[in-house]
Every structure is written in C-alpha cells, then in structure tokens.
C-alpha cells in the first residue's frame, strides 16, 4: 500500500469509529444483559412460560381447550376490544391473546393476556415494564421509534465500515510483527494500540456478524412493509376492493388452524394475526407456521385463511429479505445455541467494549505528528518510539 492509500484508509477508520463509538458503547452495554434475557426473566419471575417448559405443548397435545374457547376467555377480560394476535409456545401449554380497541391499533394500545390452555385459566401477565423492558427499548430504538431504529442502523453501518478499514490497515501494520505482539517496552499509548488491535482482530468475525444482523434488525419496519405491499398484496389480490371484515363476522379459529395444518404438514403454529392488522389483510387470518427443527423453526410460512369461512386462500414461504430478518435476531443475541453460546457472546461483547474504549482513549490522547499512525502502518509497526509519545503539557 502507498502512503496516500494508507492515509485514506486511516481517515476512514478514524472518523467512522469516532462517529459511532458512543452509540456502539451504549449498544454493547445494553446488549450484555439482553443476551441473558431469558435467564434473567426466569430468575425475576417475569417469564411465566418458562415455569411450564416440558409440559405438553398447547399446539399438539390432546386434551387442550379449543382456540375459540381461549379467544372468548381473552375477550371476556377486555370487553369492547378485538383480537389482534394469538401466539403459541410449542414447548409449553401457554398461549397469549393480544387485544386492542381496533384491529390496526398501535402496539402501545395493545394488551397481552397469557392463558394455560390445559386448564383454561390465566397464566400470569406479560410484563411490558421493568428494567429489562427499558434496556430493550433503549437498545432497539432509544425510545424514538422508527427514526431511532434507522439512526442506530446508520451507526451500525459506520461500525462495519470501521471494521473493514481496520482490517485493511491491520495487515500491513503487522507484517513485521508476530500475531498478538504487545510492545510492552514502549509507551502506554503503544501498549493500548496493540491491545486495541489484538482484541479487535480476535472479535472481528463476531463483531461483523452482530453488526450486520443489527443493521438488518433496524430495518424491520420497512422490510415488513415491503412484504405487505408485494407478496401479501399478491396473495390477497382476489379480495381487493371488498369492505374490511368486521370482528363480529370472524369465523372459527380452530377451523382456520386446521386448514393451515393441512396446507403445511410437519409444521407448528407460532402465531395467528387476525384481520386488519399489519401481518394480515382486512379479510384474512394469517396463521404463521414454523418448522419443527432447531434450524427451520426460525423460518415462518404464512397460511392465509379467509377470516369468515375458514378456507385456505394461499400459503407460500416468506421472501428472502424477510427470512434474513427472521434469522438476524437469534444471530444477533446468540439465542440459538443455549447458555454456552450466550456466554461466548457475552465474552466477545466485553472484548468489543474494550476495543471501543481503547479506540476512544487513543483518539482523545494527544500525539506528536499527525502522520505517526500512517508511518507506523507503512513501516509495519516499526516506528521511532518518540513518534508515539504524548505531547508535553502546556
């Protein structure tokens, strides 16, 4: 690499890092407890579903209450409201009924009710407050909704650019040094620089995966809107122009579920979206089915059922961009490999915090000669020690 190209890559790395560091530190710090959100919820009693793990599931075990009965129980607790979602946990008999004043009500107006389908009784309350909920909202959108999500997505993009430019600079920088070298006899700044580089290259793959999946996750709203305007519109084209189906004319949920199971054998239901919501049309119940293996359970296939008659309208896999979104969340939080993988995710998260903190320290510290970092990369880490000494205090 020429000195000019090194200078350009150094400036790209410097400014992309500076612009995103504060927000990336916030994301790493808040992401650390979110990695263990299941375990924390279970310990604090905020996860009534975990207490029933291993009990025959609500979706396929005999002797369960009908879905129509469970919906009636939910609506009885929220008179005057309409159903929006019904969701299942296929490892326990707990299901949730989400109600709202209108089918298209915002999430803030929705109420989530938990029921034990075996007994038909309430199974606790879904908590939407507390420390973990606060941390999740801060991590997801900083309480700013879609603008906050898109802003954090931009910070994630800058983070990925910083990673790429850092790798480009790392190769020539280390060509005369052994991997993992810490020049402990040099100044404190040089030791921090070597630590920054070592931790950064160690966590590179993880940071890249978390960064890219985080960017994808911030695009959830436009991704779902794209699916609605393309695939979902095509699946419901025959119903275009019809008046929305009123809740009083909703048909049997059990009949809709039977139609979805017949169309997609070997799958399990994850949730039902009722007519008028963002995941269905104004006339359909959308039954989202998931695979029955650790890999395929992340993939959802919607079966659209006529909300009044209970007959199947269409069933097709979600497009690739929605599948990418569905896979991004478990990869982002390490949710697919149990506690050992979560511990590894946490360790690498701490590594990334140290990389960001050391990068901030290196930037804030004053040095003699703006070209010192460029010369050090150009010479393969061999540069006069005086070039990296801090300036004397004024």
Q: Is the pLDDT of residue 362 over 50?
A: yes
Residues 6+ apart with CB under 8 A from 314: 235, 236, 303, 304
Q: Is the pLDDT of residue 66 over 90?
A: yes
Binned at pLDDT 50, 70 and 90, residue 183 comes out as: confident
Mean pLDDT confidence for 197-206: 88
Which of these ranges, 59-63, 150-154, 257-261, has the smallest mean pLDDT? Answer: 59-63
At 64 the pLDDT is: 84
At 108 the pLDDT is: 85
Yes or no: say if 200 and 355 are a contact pair by the CB < 8 Å rule.
yes
Residues 6+ apart with CB under 8 A from 76: none
At 58 the pLDDT is: 46
Mean pLDDT confidence for 39-44: 79
At 48 the pLDDT is: 52
pLDDT 10s digits, 316-341: 999 999 999 998 888 898 877 788 89
At 235 the pLDDT is: 92
At 112 the pLDDT is: 92
Which alpha helices (H) appear in the chain, and where do they start and end? 3-35, 37-44, 67-77, 131-141, 145-173, 188-202, 204-218, 220-227, 233-235, 253-263, 320-333, 338-364, 372-378
Which of these ranges, 77-81, 175-179, 229-233, 258-262, has the smallest mean pLDDT? Answer: 175-179
Yes or no: say if 391 and 368 are a contact pair by the CB < 8 Å rule.
yes
At 274 the pLDDT is: 96
């Amino acid at each position: 690499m020429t000195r000019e190209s090194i200078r350009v890559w150094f400036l790209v790395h410097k400014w992309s890092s500076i612009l995103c560091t504060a927000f990336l530190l916030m994301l790493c710090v808040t992401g650390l407890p979110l990695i263990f959100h299941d375990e924390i919820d279970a310990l604090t009693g905020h996860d009534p579903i975990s207490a029933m793990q291993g009990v025959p599931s609500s979706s396929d075990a005999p002797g369960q209450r009908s879905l129509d009965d469970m919906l009636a129980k939910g609506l009885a607790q929220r008179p005057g409201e309409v159903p929006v979602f019904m969701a299942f946990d296929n490892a326990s008999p707990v299901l949730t009924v989400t109600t709202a004043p209108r089918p298209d009500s915002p999430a803030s107006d929705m109420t989530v009710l938990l029921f034990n389908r075996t007994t038909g009784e309430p199974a606790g309350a879904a908590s939407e407050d507390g420390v973990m909920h606060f941390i999740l909202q801060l991590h997801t959108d900083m309480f700013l909704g879609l603008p906050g999500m898109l802003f954090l997505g931009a910070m994630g993009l800058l983070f990925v650019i910083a990673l790429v430019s850092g790798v480009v600079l790392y190769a020539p920088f280390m060509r005369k040094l052994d991997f993992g070298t810490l020049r402990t006899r040099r100044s404190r700044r040089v030791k921090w620089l070597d630590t920054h580089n070592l931790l950064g290259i160690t966590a590179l793959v993880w940071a890249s995966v978390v960064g890219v999946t985080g960017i994808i996750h911030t695009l959830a709203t436009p991704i779902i809107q794209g699916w609605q305007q393309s695939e979902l519109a095509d699946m419901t084209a025959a119903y275009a122009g019809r008046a929305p189906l009123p809740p009083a004319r909703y048909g049997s949920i059990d009949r809709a579920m039977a139609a979805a199971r017949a169309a997609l054998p070997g799958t399990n239901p994850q949730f039902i979206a009722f007519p008028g919501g963002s995941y269905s049309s104004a006339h359909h119940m959308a039954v989202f089915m998931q695979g029955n293996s650790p890999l395929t359970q992340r993939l959802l296939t919607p079966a659209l059922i006529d909300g009044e008659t209970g007959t199947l309208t269409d069933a097709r896999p979600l497009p690739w961009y929605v599948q990418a979104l569905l896979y991004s969340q478990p990869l982002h939080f390490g949710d697919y490999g149990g506690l050992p993988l979560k511990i590894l995710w946490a360790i690498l998260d701490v590594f990334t915090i140290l990389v960001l903190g050391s990068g901030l320290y290196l930037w804030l510290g004053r040095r003699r000669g703006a070209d010192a970092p460029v010369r050090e990369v150009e010479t393969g880490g061999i540069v006069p020690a005086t070039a990296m000494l801090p300036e004397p205090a004024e």
